[in-house]
Amino acid sequence: MRFKRSKRLILILAIIILIPVITVILIIYTNPFRSTHNKLTITVAWNPRSTADDITRVIAGEINTSVVLQNITGAGGANGANEVLRLPRNGGNILSTSLTSFVTSEAMGFAESSHRDWEVWLFAFSPAILVVPNDSHFKTFENLIETIREYPGIVRCADDGYGTVSYIAAELFSSQVALEIFHQSFSGSSSATIALEEYQADFAIIPSSQAKELLRSGTLRALGVFSESTFILSGGIDIIIPPIAGFSNNFDSSLPFGEYFGLFIPESTPSTIINSYDNMFMDVIGSDAFIEFARNSGLEIITPDRVLSNEIAEHICSVANWTLYNTGFLPVNPETLDIPKP
């Protein structure tokens, strides 16, 4: 009897010991990153402390695995994308970049692939906002439109440089609403806002993530957002920004417009690994850290659904490439790349 009891006791102890061991083994072998020694490498295609870099660091902190970040910049983010394409496609190598430059890099001749060759998860949206100096005599968007129509080619618009979201938004605005503005392209991030502060321009169109602090401090005022709905810039006192929509059907079809941020994986990655990211990324946007980051950064959270993300990517691809082509900036006709008009 004692022998049987001892065997039963040993069996119970063995089960108690083995359960956590088996659990750990299952976690390791069902983890999509086991082929990379449970390590995920995210290549950020933009400089450290950029919005793309900041959002990647928040995401990395919410992913339950070891993450290594590296910044590979240049060619509008294409260098980072090209590097990820050269790495093993085992789910352990991910690209983080901004969408607008990503979907125009093929036509620009920078990228080795189309955005359609990637699986896309978008996490956040930074809508383009039309801003003026706080002491500007333009009090409303309608007031600005009336002045541009009355004095064509006189009102000055600043942007951050050729090919940027700021540049595309300004060209989109002037071309779609058939208004003639004096469009000035400055060089470098935040150069448009500097031009406004130095009164070298009357208005600028910049992403909310770039405008947030100047709007909160009262240095700039927002006259409208490139969206079909109101945008609320949170953080301290909420700033309610009305939509720029309803005065041109052509313009409205291009909305919303701004910068999106997300993660990208080569489409040829095994589907089981790609599918495993869906729930993981959904958990990220529901975390307190991500919600707080988005609120402080002037970003609108996007559900990282691949179907929705691909629809957004196609929309931005169409608007951005055709706008650049119509202004003579893009060397390739988007039709040759099967990019439909907006």
pLDDT-derived band at 51 (thresholds 50, 70, 90) equals very high
Whether the CA torsion 324, 339, 44, 306 is positive or negative: it is positive
Give CA torsion, residues 150, 127, 297, 199, to 10 deg: -20
The DSSP H or E segment spanning 293 is helix 288-297
pLDDT-derived band at 38 (thresholds 50, 70, 90) equals low
Q: How far apart are CA 261 and CA 208, in angstroms?
A: 13
**What's the whole-number mean pLDDT along residues 228-253?**
87
Radius of gyration (Cα) for the chain, nearest Å?
24
**What's the whole-number mean pLDDT along residues 260-284?**
93
- pLDDT averaged over every residue in the chain: 88
- For residue 180, count other CB atoms closer than 10 A to its CB: 13
119 vs 30: which has the higher pLDDT: 119
> What is residue 242's predicted lDDT score, i.e. its pLDDT?
96
Q: What is the pTM of this model?
A: 0.86
> What is residue 265's predicted lDDT score, i.e. its pLDDT?
96
**What's the whole-number mean pLDDT along residues 87-106?**
94
Q: How far apart are CA 83 and CA 179, in angstroms?
A: 41
Q: How far apart are CA 184 and CA 162, in angstroms?
A: 10
Tokens 């405008």, residue located:
211
CB distance 200 to 106 below 8 Å: no
Instruction: For 154-169, write each residue's pLDDT tens digit.
Output: 999 998 888 899 999 9
